[in-house]
Structure 1
Amino acid sequence: MTLKTSPHPPASTTRAERPEGEVRLPRAGREKITFWILLAALIPLTLASARMIEFDVAALGGGFGDVLNLLGRMLPPELSDPPRISELLLETLMMALLGTVLATAISIPLAFLAASNTSPHPAVQRAARGVITLCRAIPDLVFAVLFVRALGIGVLPGILALGLHSVGMMAKLFADAIEATDAGPREAVRATGASRLGELLMGVLPQVIPAWLGTFIYRVDINLRTSVVLGFVGAGGIGFALQDALRGLMYESAMGIVLIILLVIAGMEIISVLLRRTLLNPPDTGPAPKLPAADSALLGPMTGERSTRLLAGLLVLAATCYSFIHLRINPLAPFLQFKELLSVFGKLLPPSVEGMEELLFTAVLETLAIGVVSTVAGALLAIPVGILAASNVAPSRALYALSRGLILVVRAIPELILAVVFVAAIGLGPMAGAMALAVGTIGFLGKLVADSIEEISAGPLEAVRAVGGGWWDQLLGAVIPQALPQLVGHWMYMLDVNIRTSTVLGIVGAGGIGFLLMESVRTLNFNVAGTIILIIFVLVFLIERLSAWMRKLLA
């Protein structure tokens, strides 16, 4: 087995036809040169961005004393009202579940409309993709503020905010999974004379269910973190108690709540990993009892794998129903109060700047600078940590466990809490936001890097080992060439995420356009808020296009 490079592969060669263990390195020529030019341009861009937000490592070091003083005031942690905290924590868990269920219900039909191989018309596909991007562009915190304005304080605005914002991620990944399906089963179903709906249900749906399950579990994990933040604007959950403690300068209680949040999120991370392993790779328990012919035609043979997923679905349904009952939520409430919702969201139009052109321009540049600096700084640590956290590459089990533990701990800390800490350390401004997002990037990007490396082909690694190559030879000769397109895509995705997240951190004074957005909503200046949301939408769309283009350069 040899390690091969092919700068000019034949156009007719497919992945299935390549010899086992062969690695496709980035194409030579204009595409590869363009990529390295862009990569080199990132260095001066990062330096200019750091200068714009006045990024100062010395100031960060000098602020550690303030952080230690703050932490000293938070110790020892305490819980002033355990029953209330427990109830709010349960609310938070239910909000995360219901928000994800709502997003799934919206994302499934939207994904079929947005996928190129199932959309009825290109215009419909573009419209659906636009709706998905818009949902992703509007921060969940802004959704929550608007829903609180329309529906009042409570968990329902939080659930709706989580649901609509999650559509931006879930519908996109659902659509990508549909586009990656094999056309053969669908054509076979069509040959039997089935309707278009039958084609989708029997030819496409069985292929995408595993990917959709993984996305659902991952999004519940994300929404649990997000629901903590929504309490800051009155959208229910344990974040409301945390905000009360911070406003009342009850730092011991705040630390107790933070520790509870971290333990629950870390526990959810572990549970989500176990669920993904169980549902996506369930044990073979043999065939289950046969279904009636009609059901079998729709679902296929009821194997142990399908039984496991069916049981999981029933449990989610039961938990959803219990959450509605426990939270006393009327599912028809958004429709009954549709006029109030339409009134609040309608105030975002028409967009207006009202003499704030220069201020908005500066804030946009500041937001972009925060995103670039945080993503580059975070990647400098996230990529090495992610490599060590990949089980097939880590040089020792101890380093693997340590790296995975670091990723787990960092992912358990919401960026808003990190921003509060950095604001306390170095003061208000964009540098605090950049540092908070950089630390958060270590957790999220590190996990993406580790997962991507664990999925690479084992052939090239074995080939390098067979010729006596050491760990660095394996990394540079077999791992990086295979994972490079995914690493670039993950970095661009983190840039997208960090730019959108920076709009949320403005609530605690961490700079960027988010500060203007939150102030415009708080002061009922909705026309300006509409302009800012439109700007964020354009930024997210352009970053997505740039990311797709760069991935093509490395394909």
Structure 2
Amino acid sequence: MSIATPVKAPVEPIKKKTSLESIIAGVVLVALLVGGIWSVNSLGINIGTIINSFENASAFVGRMFPLDFPPVMDTLGLIFETLAIVFLSTLLSVVLSIPTALLAARNTTMNKGAQWTSRAFIVLCRAVPDLVLAIIFLRMFGLGATAGIIAMGIHSVGMVAKLYADAIEELDDGARESIESAGGTRSQQILTAIPQVLMPQLIATALHRFDINLRTSVLLGYVGVGGIGLAIADSLRVLDYQRGMALAFIVLALCIVIELISGSIRAALMSNASGGITGGTWVDRMFNKNREVGVNDLKLTPPWSMERFNRFGAYLLIAVLTIVSFWRVDVSLRELFTGLMDLPETLALFFPPSTGGSLSNMLEQLVITLQISLAATLIGGIIAIPIGIFAARNVVANKFVYQTFRVIIVIVRGIPELILAIIFVVISGLGGVAGTLALSVGAIGLLSKLIADSLGETDTKVQDALRAAGASEMQIFFSATVRQAAPAFVAHTMYLLDTNIRSATLLGVVGAGGVGFLLLNASRINQFDVVMMVLILMVAVVLIVEALSMWLRKVVR
């Protein structure tokens, strides 16, 4: 009896394919680096340019002081109006994002068409700048808070719904399957299994978006949305730098305070989100109803325990804030209904898209926008890397050092990029230099935080093993810490480039170079077909960069 020789299945050359992709990824990264250097040189950013701006900077400081703060009641009114706009827009984004995320997640959607449609809607919301949405809605609803709330709310869906959908897909599906096996309907499975587990992350994401919308609200003031942003625009339009910069300092302080408060809440929410009922965070105890109960505890009506009081208090607080916010911004339901009825007429103004007879100028400004983004990513990255390293707790042993750099990051992150762009436009003049310097400072705050967090999330066991083998701290840092965090560095840099392209477009409204200036001018003279053409070009670039970013993250992971 002969024994058949087993036939070996052909092995696909996975290693060669992976190696080829890695080589291509390396070439792309080098090309982006070269593009950044070329952009810095093409925009004329050098030491001489910065030195020549010192005289303008000193003159600007002289015209800025003494700061002219509005009366206390006027200041509080502007702050409350701004916070009301931001709160309502964030609430709108959450309300829209939850059903969108449920349709986009694989484990909660059976219909592939609905899933891909929801994913496409999320990408489109993220690709269309909120400034463009604000221009559209201002045409529909007129000047005021309504347009800004809807614009920021819809644009925020691009981030919030994506994070919600990703979180839903990463859930353990065992709870939902248990409810399904017990005969629960699809809606019962979703409503019972998902909210309790995801509630901390849902709230943390909403708080993070609140921070972003607060900075965005300042920018939208330049197109007629209310709040502090509109007051700053009115002051700087008449060159009243004392009042304008006083308002800017209020925005800075407000952003830092909100960043610290929301950051602390997010840390508390996410620190023990996977813990038990007794050992978890306050939000676990607030929203989790599946506590262990004894026979004597079983009642048809649950008792008013501290958990139930907290849960009821949270719902009541959200309801009160919603009512107060609506009252403060004075949203007119009649104007809202009229604007929605005029939607077909409004959209007709944007089609067909037109270049306005200046396609070459439009493409030139688009190239400048890309140059600003690449240059700002390069400059910000070079400065952010050492700051992020010194802000990492597991890299720097000295507590005073890493806390100092953490404070620097918080302060830099608290400065809205629009305020930076205004300052640099005054100092260095109109054009791409101002936009690049403004985005570079903003990039430092964002990228240094991401770098510090990535270094802090590395596996310390690898570092301890090398330390036990006698390796120096420098050898441990480069061979273990940096090596583990390198893929995250690439992902963060691409995310920064993607963010800078959008921001560079928006900063053009204050003369910081790029297509944003064309966008604002076209909207002011009602050339909405030109606005649509600029939007199409911007969305195309953003989608290309986003696809490239996703591919690079996949390869280097």
TM-score (norm: length of structure 1): 0.88
Of the candidates 467, 470, 479, which is equivalent to residue 472 of structure 2? 470
Match of 2:100 in 1: 110
Q: Tell me the distance in 2 between the aligned counterparts of 1:498 and 1:180.
A: 29
Q: Say yes or no: does 1:186 pair with 2:188.
A: no
Give the conservation status (yes or no) of the 8 Å contact 1:230–1:237: no
Q: Say yes or no: does 1:238 pair with 2:228.
A: yes
Q: Tell me the distance in 2 between the aligned counterparts of 1:38 and 1:292.
A: 52
Q: Tell me how far 1:292 sits from its aligned partner.
A: 12
Give the conservation status (yes or no) of the 8 Å contact 1:291–1:302: no
Give the conservation status (yes or no) of the 8 Å contact 2:140–2:340: no
Q: Tell me the distance in 1 between the aligned counterparts of 2:398 and 2:130.
A: 40
Q: Tell me the distance in 1 between the aligned counterparts of 2:82 and 2:458.
A: 37
Structure 1 counterpart of 2:425, one-letter code? V
Higher relative contact order (CA 8 A, sep 6+): 1
Match of 2:427 in 1: 425
Q: Tell me the distance in 2 between the aligned counterparts of 1:98 and 1:115.
A: 25
Q: Tell me the distance in 1 between the aligned counterparts of 2:126 and 2:316.
A: 29
Q: Tell me the distance in 1 between the aligned counterparts of 2:396 and 2:330.
A: 49
Q: How many residues align?
A: 526
Q: Tell me how far 1:272 sits from its aligned partner.
A: 0.8
Of the candidates 210, 213, 219, which is equivalent to residue 220 of structure 1? 210
Larger Rg: 2
Give the conservation status (yes or no) of the 8 Å contact 1:76–1:252: yes
Match of 2:240 in 1: 250
Give the conservation status (yes or no) of the 8 Å contact 1:142–1:518: no
CA-to-aligned-CA distance 1:105-151 (integer Å, 9 cap, x gap): 11111112222333333332232222222222222222223222221
Which residues in structure 2 correspond to 1:422-501 (within 5 Å)? 422-501=424-503
Q: Say yes or no: does 1:200 pair with 2:200.
A: no
CA-to-aligned-CA distance 1:185-239 (integer Å, 9 cap, x gap): 2222221122222222223333332222221110111111111222222200011
CA-to-aligned-CA distance 1:31-72 (integer Å, 9 cap, x gap): 333332222223322222234333333112211220121012
Q: Tell me how far 1:290 sits from its aligned partner.
A: 6.7
Change (3 A) 1:249 1:353: closer
SS of equivalent to 1:337? helix
SS of equivalent to 1:395? coil
Change (3 A) 1:430 1:287: closer
Structure 2 counterpart of 1:83, one-letter code? M
Of the candidates 393, 396, 401, which is equivalent to residue 391 of structure 1? 393
| Bigger Cα displacement from structure 2, 440-449 vs 301-310 | 301-310
Which residues in structure 2 correspond to 1:300-319 (within 5 Å)? 311-319=313-321
Of the candidates 26, 46, 60, which is equivalent to residue 36 of structure 1? 26
Q: Tell me the distance in 2 between the aligned counterparts of 1:111 and 1:325.
A: 30
Give the conservation status (yes or no) of the 8 Å contact 1:85–1:241: no
Match of 2:46 in 1: 56
Q: Tell me how far 1:346 sits from its aligned partner.
A: 3.5
Change (3 A) 1:275 1:74: same
Q: Tell me the distance in 2 between the aligned counterparts of 1:449 and 1:156.
A: 37
Q: Tell me how far 1:490 sits from its aligned partner.
A: 1.3
Q: Say yes or no: does 1:347 pair with 2:354.
A: no
Give the conservation status (yes or no) of the 8 Å contact 1:213–1:280: no
Q: Tell me the distance in 1 between the aligned counterparts of 2:165 and 2:121.
A: 13
Give the conservation status (yes or no) of the 8 Å contact 2:84–2:328: no
SS of equivalent to 2:194? helix
Give the conservation status (yes or no) of the 8 Å contact 1:290–1:301: no
Change (3 A) 1:110 1:335: farther
Structure 1 vs Structure 2: percent identity of aligned residues? 38
Q: Say yes or no: does 1:132 pair with 2:134.
A: no
Structure 2: 5+ residue runs without aligned partners?
1-10, 12-16, 273-278, 293-297
Q: Tell me the distance in 2 between the aligned counterparts of 1:525 and 1:339.
A: 22
Give the conservation status (yes or no) of the 8 Å contact 2:36–2:377: no
Q: Say yes or no: does 1:267 pair with 2:269.
A: no
Match of 2:276 in 1: none
Match of 2:56 in 1: 66
CA-to-aligned-CA distance 1:12-34 (integer Å, 9 cap, x gap): xxxxxxxxxxxxxxx97333333
Q: Tell me the distance in 2 between the aligned counterparts of 1:217 and 1:233.
A: 25
Q: Tell me the distance in 1 between the aligned counterparts of 2:211 and 2:393.
A: 22
Which residues in structure 2 correspond to 1:499-514 (within 5 Å)? 499-514=501-516
Q: Say yes or no: does 1:401 pair with 2:391.
A: no
Q: Tell me the distance in 2 between the aligned counterparts of 1:447 and 1:519.
A: 35
| Bigger Cα displacement from structure 2, 262-271 vs 283-292 | 283-292
Change (3 A) 1:225 1:478: same
Q: Tell me how far 1:489 sits from its aligned partner.
A: 1.4
Give the conservation status (yes or no) of the 8 Å contact 1:388–1:395: no
Q: Tell me the distance in 1 between the aligned counterparts of 2:201 and 2:307.
A: 14
Q: Tell me the distance in 1 between the aligned counterparts of 2:289 and 2:403.
A: 43
Q: Tell me the distance in 2 between the aligned counterparts of 1:28 and 1:528.
A: 44
SS of equivalent to 1:77? coil
Structure 2 counterpart of 1:199, one-letter code? Q
TM-score (norm: length of structure 2): 0.88
Q: Tell me how far 1:468 sits from its aligned partner.
A: 3.2
Give the conservation status (yes or no) of the 8 Å contact 2:40–2:375: yes
Of the candidates 379, 382, 388, which is equivalent to residue 380 of structure 1? 382
| Bigger Cα displacement from structure 2, 27-36 vs 166-175 | 27-36
CA-to-aligned-CA distance 1:470-520 (integer Å, 9 cap, x gap): 332232122222222222111111111110111111111111111111121
Q: Tell me the distance in 2 between the aligned counterparts of 1:519 and 1:502.
A: 16
SS of equivalent to 2:342? helix
Q: Tell me the distance in 2 between the aligned counterparts of 1:530 and 1:549.
A: 28
Q: Tell me how far 1:313 sits from its aligned partner.
A: 4.5
Structure 2 counterpart of 1:208, one-letter code? L
Change (3 A) 1:364 1:326: closer
Q: Tell me the distance in 2 between the aligned counterparts of 1:46 and 1:158.
A: 33
Q: Tell me the distance in 2 between the aligned counterparts of 1:331 and 1:472.
A: 62
Give the conservation status (yes or no) of the 8 Å contact 1:352–1:531: yes
Q: Say yes or no: does 1:276 pair with 2:266.
A: yes
Give the conservation status (yes or no) of the 8 Å contact 1:100–1:162: yes
Q: Tell me the distance in 2 between the aligned counterparts of 1:129 and 1:287.
A: 33
Q: Say yes or no: does 1:81 pair with 2:71.
A: yes
Change (3 A) 1:505 1:303: farther
CA-to-aligned-CA distance 1:375-397 (integer Å, 9 cap, x gap): 11111111221222222222321
